[in-house]
């Protein structure tokens, strides 16, 4: 798996515009007038031009070389072609995109105009992620998607014809009305589509989504009563892991699967704690203070009006080495390769790593972690209960130092 460098930067650009709001969505996105698109890109460009001054004030490094760019949302492909061209032109003025940079844009199926596709190709986009969620038309439509199966397959052909062959398809296990039979059908169509990458998410009930609020309060408008049980969703996820791995889409992270050399390099940046800059609504950044070992995390407002009028500053927080160490565990454990404790010792010190051994040993005895030498990873059961496992590393027991250097396996 690619190991990214701290000497290059990833850039995430949030585009919050949608044609419809999906029932399960809790992102800072929505249906806004097209007249806001130009204002929004103007604001992005303003931030892009001033981010160097901001990072200098904060005392953190801002690498000029950029090897991953990710436009997420929302639906970035709703931007007019001239706005896409402007955005990428300024991006290249302010930063140096490496020749092999991975440039990803999220697109909604059936919403990629010919002119937009041409603009993406001209801008150097070489990876597209399609928010399919289900290949079953009824399931997609009941969750607020505007596409059908035929439109997805047609878009895959159009993207390949435009020279964009690094393609991802998102699926969600647990949509309203989904059954084991319909889930198997979605997986079969995904595999027949022969994409090099897939992301499979288990539906999460969130009170910030319309479906989540309905599930918590009761109601039928968004078909909350048809959402499968947690056990059924877990079984669907397990089926996906088995089917995708068997077909050569190897799982490399809890929700992500790809053929050789097609892992999402931008997402790996998050899990490997490499620097990234977030631009736009509700966008996060992680940048390094070179001397102290502290990490700066920042997040912009999720209020579009406040963002456009520049009335709110980004929220910032410094992560101490201890907090950064905890993140190294729960972000690293998301990946199938897991966490290498030798690398943690080199970065954070042997004493700090030793304090975590009792927690690792206990979770291994519970069947949630696998230990091979100094490498620790989630088991299959651990992935299903990953949030509970991660919490253990945020509430670590620093006692038990006598046990700290005992072997973790026998």
| Residue 371 bridge partners (DSSP) | 376
Residue among 87, 83, 76 at smallest CA distance from 111 = 76
Specify the DSSP element, H or E, that contains 320.
none
- Answer yes or no: is pLDDT of 407 > 70: no
Bigger pLDDT: 74 or 109? Answer: 109
Dist. CA 137–CA 198, nearest whole Å: 19
Determine contact, residues 73/29, Cβ cutoff 8 Å. yes
User: What is the pLDDT, as a whole number, of residue 223?
Assistant: 63
Enumerate residues 6+ apart whose C-beta is below 8 A from 21.
Answer: 29, 30, 31, 144, 210
Bigger pLDDT: 241 or 228? Answer: 241
Q: Please give the DSSP secondary-structure letter assigned to residue 209.
A: S
Bigger pLDDT: 290 or 153? Answer: 153
Mean per-residue pLDDT, 386-406 = 62
Beta strand pairing status for 295-299 and 315-319? antiparallel
User: What is the pLDDT, as a whole number, of residue 291?
Assistant: 77
Bigger pLDDT: 193 or 220? Answer: 193
Binned at pLDDT 50, 70 and 90, residue 208 comes out as low
Q: Which residues of 162-186 are buried (b: 16+ CB within 10 A; e: fewer)?
A: bebebbbbbbbbbbbbbeeebbebb
Mean per-residue pLDDT, 250-254 = 98
- Answer yes or no: is pLDDT of 232 > 50: yes
pTM, full prediction: 0.90
Mean per-residue pLDDT, 129-155 = 90
Over the chain, what is the mean pLDDT? Answer: 89
Q: Note the residue count of the chain.
A: 410
Q: Please give the DSSP secondary-structure letter assigned to residue 30.
A: B
- Answer yes or no: is pLDDT of 259 > 50: yes
Q: Tell me, which fold does domain 9-271 have in CATH? A: Transcription Regulator spoIIAA (3.30.750)
Mean per-residue pLDDT, 136-141 = 91
Would you put residue 238 in left (φ > 0), alpha (ψ -120 to 50) or beta? alpha
Q: Where are the domains of the chain?
A: 9-271, 322-410
User: What is the pLDDT, as a whole number, of residue 404?
Assistant: 34
Percentage of residues of the chain with pLDDT beyond 70: 88
User: What is the pLDDT, as a whole number, of residue 71?
Assistant: 98
Binned at pLDDT 50, 70 and 90, residue 24 comes out as low
Binned at pLDDT 50, 70 and 90, residue 405 comes out as very low
Dist. CA 356–CA 328, nearest whole Å: 12
Determine contact, residues 197/159, Cβ cutoff 8 Å. no
Dist. CA 410–CA 221, nearest whole Å: 55
- Answer yes or no: is pLDDT of 410 > 70: no
Binned at pLDDT 50, 70 and 90, residue 230 comes out as confident
Question: Which CATH code fits 322-410?
Answer: 1.10.10.920
Residue among 26, 92, 51, 12 at smallest CA distance from 264 = 12
Helix (DSSP H) and strand (DSSP E) numbers for the chain = 16, 15
Query: E strands within 250-312?
Result: 250-253, 256-258, 276-279, 284-288, 295-299
Specify the DSSP element, H or E, that contains 11.
strand 9-15
- Answer yes or no: is pLDDT of 219 > 80: no
- Integer-rounded Cα radius of gyration of the chain: 22
Q: Is the peptide bond before 368 cis (omega within 30 degrees of 0)?
A: no
Residue ranges of the alpha helices (H) in 111-229? 114-122, 137-142, 149-161, 180-192, 210-217
User: What is the pLDDT, as a whole number, of residue 321?
Assistant: 87
User: What is the pLDDT, as a whole number, of residue 409?
Assistant: 38
Helix orientation angle between 114-122 and 81-94, rounded to the nearest 10 degrees: 10
Dist. CA 386–CA 377, nearest whole Å: 11
- Answer yes or no: is pLDDT of 12 > 60: yes
Mean per-residue pLDDT, 112-122 = 97
Dist. CA 204–CA 231, nearest whole Å: 13
Enumerate residues 6+ apart whose C-beta is below 8 A from 254.
Answer: 334, 378, 383, 386
Give the pLDDT confidence of 348-395 residue by residue, as tens digits. 999 999 999 999 999 999 999 999 999 999 999 999 999 999 999 985
Determine contact, residues 10/66, Cβ cutoff 8 Å. yes
| Residue 172 bridge partners (DSSP) | 201
Bigger pLDDT: 26 or 72? Answer: 72
Concatenating the DSSP letter of every residue in 54-95 gives: HHHHHT----SEEEEEEEEES-GGGS-HHHHHHHHHHHHHHS
Mean per-residue pLDDT, 127-142 = 93
- Answer yes or no: is pLDDT of 62 > 70: yes
Specify the DSSP element, H or E, that contains 144.
none
Give the pLDDT confidence of 265-317 residue by residue, as tens digits. 999 999 999 999 999 999 999 999 887 778 999 999 999 999 999 998 899 99
């Amino acid at each position: 798996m690619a190991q990214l460098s701290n000497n290059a930067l990833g850039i995430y650009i949030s585009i919050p515009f949608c044609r419809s709001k999906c029932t399960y969505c809790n992102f800072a996105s929505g249906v806004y007038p097209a007249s806001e698109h130009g204002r929004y890109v103007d604001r992005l460009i303003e931030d892009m031009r001033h981010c160097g001054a901001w990072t200098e004030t904060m005392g953190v490094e801002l690498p000029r070389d950029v090897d991953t760019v990710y436009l997420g949302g929302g639906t970035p492909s709703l931007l007019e072609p001239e706005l896409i061209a402007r955005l990428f032109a300024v991006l290249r003025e302010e930063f140096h995109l490496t020749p092999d940079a991975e440039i990803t844009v999220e697109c909604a199926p059936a919403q990629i105009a010919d002119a937009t596709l041409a603009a993406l190709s001209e801008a150097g986009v070489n990876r597209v992620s399609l928010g399919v969620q289900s290949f079953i038309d009824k399931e997609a439509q009941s969750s607020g998607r505007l596409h059908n199966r035929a439109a997805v397959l047609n878009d895959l052909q159009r993207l390949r014809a435009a020279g964009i062959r690094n393609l991802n398809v998102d699926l969600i296990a647990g949509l309203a009305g989904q059954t084991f039979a319909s889930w198997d059908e979605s997986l079969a169509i995904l595999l027949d589509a022969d994409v090099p990458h897939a992301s499979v998410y288990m539906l999460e009930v969130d009170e910030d989504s319309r479906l989540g609020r309905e599930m918590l309060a009761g109601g039928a408008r968004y078909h909350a009563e048809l959402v499968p049980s947690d056990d059924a969703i877990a079984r669907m996820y397990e089926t996906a892991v088995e089917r995708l791995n068997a077909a050569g889409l190897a799982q490399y992270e809890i929700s992500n699967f790809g053929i050789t050399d097609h892992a999402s390099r931008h997402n790996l940046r998050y899990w490997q704690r490499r620097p990234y800059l977030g631009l736009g609504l509700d966008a996060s950044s992680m940048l390094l203070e070179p001397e102290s070992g502290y990490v700066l995390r920042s997040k912009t407002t999720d209020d579009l009006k406040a963002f456009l009028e520049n009335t709110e500053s980004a929220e910032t927080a410094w992560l101490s080495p201890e907090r950064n160490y905890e993140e190294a565990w729960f972000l690293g454990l998301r990946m199938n390769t897991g966490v290498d404790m030798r690398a943690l010792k080199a970065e954070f010190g042997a004493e700090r790593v030793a304090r975590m051994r009792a927690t690792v040993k206990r979770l291994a005895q519970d069947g949630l972690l696998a230990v091979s030498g100094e490498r620790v990873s989630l088991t299959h059961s651990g992935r299903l209960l990953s949030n509970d496992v991660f919490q253990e590393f945020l509430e670590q027991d620093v006692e038990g130092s006598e046990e700290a250097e005992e072997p973790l396996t026998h």
